[in-house]
């Protein structure tokens, strides 16, 4: 199967996963990226079965609206029963690196407000150890150089993602060569640097279900303790 076919397959599995949760008052959380886009496209067929969505990016909000799905502000909604999103890497504990599409901060906010996080990914995203994918860190623009120096002290090789402005008006540093031995501790440590808005480690709050696309079909996995 091609990667696109795997993405379509996990998107379809996510539709089956959330279908029992839908209802006229239900607003669901929707993520960002090429895998999430396929989920959005398939969600269109169910648009009469739920109230609408909260999106983790302007791009996803636009795509949802394009399918006639109402998009709500998270502040209007409070919590969502489920959040469906992709990942750049996911480990056996369902801790993830996210933010390849620069949407990490809004993704983390919607995930924090979700009762259940369903991660959809093709098999190439499953890793033993997080960190081959460069870890994105969203920074307030005036703090970029300072934060980069602090990241170097922690052993990273941060690279400014030139030309990218997040939906929050901020910038991204991609951290190469990071040894991520303890994702929960590292997530907190990076967030404590002044000028960091958030980082792409989703470790303290990982996914609850992983729908992983493989050539043998979609595996439905729950995290190892």
Ligand X SMILES: O=C[C@H](O)[C@H](O)[C@H](O)COP(=O)(O)O
Identify which of residues 49 and 62 has a Cβ nearer to ligand X in the complex. 62
35-74 positions binding ligand X, by CB under 6 A = 35-36
Identify which of residues 35 and 91 has a Cβ nearer to ligand X in the complex. 35
Closest CA to 133 of 179, 176, 92: 176
Identify which of residues 50 and 202 has a Cβ nearer to ligand X in the complex. 202
Is 187 buried (19+), middle (13-18) or exposed (0-12) by CB count in 10 A?
A: buried
98-137 positions binding ligand X, by CB under 6 A = 98-104, 107
The answer to whether residue 3 forms part of the interface with ligand X (CB under 6 A) is no
The answer to whether residue 206 forms part of the interface with ligand X (CB under 6 A) is no
- Provide, rounded to whole angstroms, the least separation between the CB of residue 33 and ligand X: 3
Round to whole Å and give the CA distance between 52 and 133.
32
17 flagged as catalytic: no
Q: Can you list the positions of beta strands (E) in 103-225?
A: 117-122, 135-139, 157-160, 171-176, 196-199, 201-202, 209-214, 217-221
**Which of left, alpha, beta for 33 (phi over 0: left; psi -120 to 50: alpha)?**
left
The answer to whether residue 31 forms part of the interface with ligand X (CB under 6 A) is yes
Helix (H) or strand (E) holding 215, with range, is none
Query: Which parts of the chain fold into alpha helices (H)?
Result: 3-18, 34-43, 58-66, 74-77, 104-112, 144-153, 183-191
The answer to whether residue 34 forms part of the interface with ligand X (CB under 6 A) is yes
- Provide, rounded to whole angstroms, the least separation between the CB of residue 3 and ligand X: 9
Identify which of residues 52 and 166 has a Cβ nearer to ligand X in the complex. 166
Query: Which parts of 100-201 fold into alpha helices (H)?
Result: 104-112, 144-153, 183-191
The answer to whether residue 87 forms part of the interface with ligand X (CB under 6 A) is yes
The answer to whether residue 171 forms part of the interface with ligand X (CB under 6 A) is no
Q: Is 123 annotated as a binding residue?
A: no
Q: Is 35 annotated as a binding residue?
A: yes
Q: Is 126 annotated as a binding residue?
A: no
Q: Which CA distances in Å does 213 have to 39, 72, 127, 216?
A: 13, 30, 14, 8
- Provide, rounded to whole angstroms, the least separation between the CB of residue 50 and ligand X: 21
| Active-site residue (options: 17, 89, 107, 138) | 107
Q: Would you tell me how many other CB atoms lie within 10 Å of the CB of residue 129?
A: 12
Identify which of residues 49 and 124 has a Cβ nearer to ligand X in the complex. 124
The answer to whether residue 8 forms part of the interface with ligand X (CB under 6 A) is no
Residues that bind ligand X (CB under 6 A): 31-36, 85-88, 98-104, 107
> Catalytic site residues?
107
Annotated binding site for substrate: 32-35, 85-88, 98-101, 125
């Amino acid at each position: 199967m091609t990667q696109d076919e795997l993405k379509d397959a996990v998107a379809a599995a996510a539709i089956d996963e959330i279908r029992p949760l839908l209802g006229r008052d239900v607003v669901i959380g929707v993520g960002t990226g090429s895998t999430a886009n396929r989920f959005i496209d398939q969600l269109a067929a169910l648009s009469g079965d739920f109230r609408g969505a909260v999106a983790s990016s302007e791009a996803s909000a636009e795509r949802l609206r394009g399918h006639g799905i109402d998009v709500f502000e998270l502040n209007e909604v409070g919590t969502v029963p489920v959040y469906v999103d992709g990942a750049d890497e996911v480990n056996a504990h369902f801790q993830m690196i996210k933010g390849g599409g620069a949407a990490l901060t809004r993704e983390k906010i919607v995930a924090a407000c979700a009762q259940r996080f369903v991660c959809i990914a093709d098999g190439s995203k499953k890793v033993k150890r997080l960190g081959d994918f460069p870890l994105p860190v969203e920074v307030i623009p005036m703090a970029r150089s300072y934060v980069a120096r602090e990241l170097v002290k922690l052993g990273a090789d941060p690279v400014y993602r030139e030309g990218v402005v997040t939906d929050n008006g901020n910038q991204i540093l991609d951290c190469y060569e990071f040894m991520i031995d303890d994702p929960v501790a590292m997530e907190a440590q990076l967030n404590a640097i002044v000028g960091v808005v958030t980082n792409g480690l989703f470790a303290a709050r990982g996914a609850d279900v992983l729908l992983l696309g493989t050539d043998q079909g979609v595996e439905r996995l729950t995290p190892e303790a």
